[in-house]
């Protein structure tokens, strides 16, 4: 028997760097600070809420856009935090995680040949999603070293064929956060255009040192053209649940739901009920900045005095380091060496660039138990 051959839709895509490094970490018994997920449990009250929903019989299909109680809770949360009111009925949709939300937005809006701007380094799902939609990827680099937006380069990349721009703040992998001034400059830049925006805000509740998360929802000129994406998995330490949200103006959401209903239709019913109940207590997410800042500070303090140079970490649960004083190896070579010889797994920042741009930077995830972080730090201080 011969399996039929067909042309690949994603010929340049292989195993993700996250899977590769996690497998290498498991093989060598390394502390895995590579893949971005917590190694600690979520709040038992959240699990109890989901269990109660199952026992109450909430086990069949929910409404396609999500259960009304959860959509209402999301709309209320956005209004309380960012002073913008979304209609829960027409402008909020519950998704099977943020990655599905981003892909669905791209499939809904991008026509073959349309250009989509990504700001590099960027999360690895963006480019394949654009390509699956038939779009042309336009890569615009963030400023090396600081990872700040270069609005001159963004402006130069805009053409009559530009359909959409993907924004990510707090930023993965660099842990930078866009300021109010940055967002207003983007708002002004896009004002005379019909360019849409996907605002990836999955780390919205991990912003440190007293800063405020500048959601696209806070800026009228951005909100009117934006799909704003968030993630309960990231927020409540349940990445395996794959439940996210999208907020968008009704005309955009109508197009989004046309695709959503045919690629996933809807999302896990009891988990939606559990999350709706859990969101009634704002402290569950308002306390996250302090929680993760403590872990960030523990990790940074543990590396003080080492030969790893710490880059700023203003948001997300990542810390990038410059290893130039340690090795001349490329980032991928260094990360492989780090797993084998030191026993700690990180992610090369070059993996977030289309051309593998090498700056001798490694991204570590500090969303781990303190015991895990102490073990990793003990090993990293040997460098």
For the domain spanning 17-36+286-380, the CATH number is 3.90.1150.10
What's the rounded Cα separation, in Å, for the pair 166 and 192?
A: 18
**What pLDDT was estimated at residue 12?**
87
Sorted by where each begins, the domain ranges of the chain are 17-36+286-380, 44-280
Question: What pLDDT does 2 receive?
Answer: 87
pLDDT given at position 35: 86
Of 18-27, 107-116, 209-218, 274-283, the least confident: 18-27
Three-state secondary structure string covering 146-176: CCCCCHHHHHHHCCCCEEEEEEECCCCCCCC
**Residue 14: which pLDDT band, with cuts at 50, 70 and 90?**
confident
Note if the bond before 27 is cis, omega within 30 degrees: no
Instruction: Please provide the average confidence, as pLDDT, over all residues in the chain.
Output: 97
The neighbour count for residue 377, using CB atoms within 10 Å, is 18
99 by DSSP, 3-state: which?
Answer: helix
Is the pLDDT reported for residue 1 higher than 80? no
Mean pLDDT of 27-41: 94
In the structure, what pLDDT confidence band is assigned to residue 89 with cuts at 50, 70 and 90?
very high
Q: What is residue 120's predicted lDDT score, i.e. its pLDDT?
A: 98
Cα separations in angstroms, 58 against 153, 168, 315? 50, 34, 36
Q: What is the mean pLDDT of residues 112-121?
A: 98
- pLDDT of 121 reads 98
Residue 7 pLDDT: 92
Contacts of residue 8, Cβ cutoff 8 Å, sequence gap at least 6: none
Residue 15 is predicted with a pLDDT of 81
Fold for 44-280, please state it: 3.40.640
CA 54 to chain centroid, in Å, comes to: 29
Q: Which residues pair with 345 in a beta bridge?
A: 32
* H-helix or E-strand spanning residue 199: strand 196-200
CA distance 152 to 296: 32
pLDDT one-digit tens code per residue, 339-355: 999 999 999 999 999 99
Q: What is the mean pLDDT of residues 353-376?
A: 97
pLDDT at 165 over 80: yes
Q: What is the pLDDT, as a whole number, of residue 103?
A: 98
Q: Please report, for residues 64, 65, 95, 149, 239, the alpha-carbon distance to residue 260 in angstroms, rounded to integers and kept in the order given.
A: 8, 8, 8, 31, 20
For residue 154, pLDDT beyond 80: yes
Confidence of residue 140 (pLDDT cuts 50, 70, 90): very high
Cβ atoms of 339 and 28 within 8 Å: the answer is: yes
Q: What is the average per-residue pLDDT within 195-217?
A: 98
**Mean pLDDT confidence for 232-250:** 97
Tokens found for residue 327: 């090795």
Distance CA 52, CA 43 (A): 15
Q: Are 243 and 19 in contact (CB under 8 A)?
A: no
Query: What are the distances in angstroms from CA 311 to CA 145, 176, 180, 320, 361?
Result: 8, 10, 21, 6, 9
pLDDT at 190 over 80: yes
The pLDDT, as a whole number, for residue 84 is: 98
pLDDT digits (tens, 9 = 90+) for 301-335: 999 989 999 999 999 999 999 999 999 999 999 99
Structure tokens of 181? 């001034």
């Amino acid at each position: 028997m011969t399996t039929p051959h067909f042309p690949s839709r994603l010929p340049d895509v292989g195993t993700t760097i996250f899977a590769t490094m996690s497998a290498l970490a498991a093989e060598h018994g390394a502390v895995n600070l590579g893949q971005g997920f917590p190694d600690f449990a979520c709040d038992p009250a959240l699990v109890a809420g989901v269990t109660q929903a199952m026992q109450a019989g909430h086990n069949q299909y929910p409404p396609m856009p999500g259960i009304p109680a959860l959509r209402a809770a999301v709309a209320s949360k956005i209004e309380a935090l960012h002073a913008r009111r979304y209609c829960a009925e027409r402008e909020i949709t519950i998704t099977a995680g943020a990655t599905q939300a981003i892909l669905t937005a791209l499939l809904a809006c991008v026509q073959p040949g349309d250009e989509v701007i990504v700001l590099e380094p960027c999360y690895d799902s963006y480019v394949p999603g654009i390509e699956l939609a038939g779009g042309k990827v336009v890569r615009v680099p963030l400023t090396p070293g600081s990872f700040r937006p270069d609005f001159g380069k963004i402006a130069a990349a805009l053409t009559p064929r530009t359909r959409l721009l993907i924004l990510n703040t707090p930023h993965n992998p660099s842990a930078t956060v866009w300021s109010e001034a940055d967002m207003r400059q983007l708002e002004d830049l896009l004002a005379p255009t019909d360019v849409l925006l996907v605002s990836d805000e999955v780390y919205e509740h991990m912003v440190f040192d007293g800063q405020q998360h500048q959601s696209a929802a806070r800026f009228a000129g951005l909100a009117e053209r934006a799909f704003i994406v968030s993630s309960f998995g990231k927020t409540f330490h349940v990445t395996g649940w794959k439940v996210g949200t999208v907020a968008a103006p009704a005309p955009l959401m109508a197009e989004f739901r046309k695709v959503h209903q045919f690629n996933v239709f809807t999302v896990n019913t009891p988990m939606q009920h559990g999350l709706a109940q859990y969101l009634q207590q704002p402290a569950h997410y308002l306390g996250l900045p302090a929680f993760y800042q403590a872990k960030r500070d523990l990790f940074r303090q543990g590396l003080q005095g080492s030969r790893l140079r710490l880059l700023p970490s203003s948001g997300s649960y990542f810390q990038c380091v410059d290893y130039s004083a340690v090795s001349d190896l490329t980032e991928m070579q260094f990360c492989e060496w780090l797993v084998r010889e030191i026993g700690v797994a990180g992610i090369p920042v070059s993996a977030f660039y289309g051309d593998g741009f090498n700056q001798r930077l490694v991204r570590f995830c500090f969303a781990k138990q303190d015991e895990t972080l102490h073990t990793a730090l003990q090993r990293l201080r040997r460098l």
